[in-house]
Amino acid sequence: MNKYAIIGGTGAEHLLSSAEWEDILISTPYGDVLLKEADFEGEKLTLLLRHGEQHQYPPHLINYRANILALRNHGVTDVFAANAVGSLRIDLPPESLILLSDFIDFTHGRPLDLGETSKMTHTDCSEPYSAELRTTLLETSAEIGTPLFPRAVYLCTNGPRYESPAEVRLFGEWGADVVGMTGLPEAYLAREANMRYACVAVVTNYAAGLDAKAIRHEDVENIMRQKNQEIFELFLSAIRFAKNNPSQ
Ligand code: HPA
């Protein structure tokens, strides 16, 4: 049976008031991870706040390996993740919801694999995000009337600083559509752990240099706060849809 988890990003702490969440502490070789669990239509739904309950982990200090191992060891099979991003495209304005389809890894110094065996792991990334979960999300978004842009290339930087305009121009030339700081290595560690993983990105701003405004974390947080409930409802509807359509 499938077991679903949601990974929330910036501002997702506010989702904790949406249900009676129970704390579940999972130990991994890389440290302990606090998961949350609540009843959802007769089954347990797991929630992981990537930045911690007090937003205490900045992008480069998130324990990506421990997070993914904790979810996998807890029996999770399917992960719906949310990420804040800057848009590299004028036609994808702030507040757009975007389903990621591919990535470029521009991080450094982060764990590259789960390190579970002494053998080298070569994870296939030819379809980096789960095709089945992506289809489920697209069909669900159409059904519930939540606009979801169907594909985008996500470029992940190390952060925590935002990009320079020259970096943004370069990333655009490379074929990236959106830029964020926390989607990798999470996505490919989930693949290595054999979990299905899909990610909905929320555009919180145009990337540096695309408009005249400076990027401020408070603005990113404000948009995420507004949009998190919508994404959460999209994920819950997608889980309901997947349970009623077991082929997906
Ligand atoms: N760059 C990187 N990460 C982000 C941005 C951005 O412009 N906006 C929200 N997360």
Q: What is the DSSP letter of 149?
A: B
Checking if the pLDDT of 17 tops 70, the result is yes
- Which tokens hold the place of 190? 């989930």
Q: Whose CA is nearest to atom 3 of ligand 1?
A: 180
Which atom from ligand 1 is nearest to the alpha carbon of 87? 7
Maximum Cα–Cα distance across the chain:
50
CA distance 10 to 51: 7
60, 163, 218, 223: residue to mutate for ligand 1 pocket, most atoms within 8 A of CB: 163
DSSP strand pairing (22-28 vs 31-40): antiparallel
In the chain, how many domains are there?
1
Which atom from ligand 1 is nearest to the alpha carbon of 59? 3
Expressed in angstroms and rounded, the spacing between residue 33 Cα and the centre of ligand 1 is 25
Query: Ligand 1 — pocket residues by CB below 6 A?
Result: 84-86, 157, 162-163, 179-181, 204-205, 207, 215, 220
Domain CATH code at residue 209: 3.40.50.1580
Average pLDDT over residues 88-114: 96
Expressed in angstroms and rounded, the spacing between residue 226 Cα and the centre of ligand 1 is 16
Expressed in angstroms and rounded, the spacing between residue 105 Cα and the centre of ligand 1 is 14
Q: Cβ–Cβ contacts within 10 Å for residue 174, how many?
A: 12
User: In 3D, which of 227, 224, 118, 104 has the Cα closest to residue 172?
Assistant: 104
Query: 19 pLDDT band (50/70/90 cuts)?
Result: confident
At 45, phi and psi to the nearest 5?
-115, 135
Expressed in angstroms and rounded, the spacing between residue 160 Cα and the centre of ligand 1 is 9
Range of the domain at 114: 4-244
Paired residues of 98 in beta bridges:
149, 201
Distances (CA, A) of 47 to 2, 15, 64, 105, 175: 15, 9, 15, 25, 32
CA angle, residues 73, 79, 84, in degrees to nearest 5: 125
Which atom from ligand 1 is nearest to the alpha carbon of 162? 1
Q: How many helices (H) and strands (E) are present in the chain, helices listed first?
A: 5, 10
Give pLDDT, residue 245: 80
User: 97 near 230, Cβ under 8 Å?
Assistant: yes
Q: What is the pLDDT of residues 219-238, one digit of tens each?
A: 999 999 999 999 999 999 99
Q: What is the pLDDT of residues 32-50, one digit of tens each?
A: 999 999 998 888 999 999 9
Q: Whose CA is nearest to atom 10 of ligand 1?
A: 85
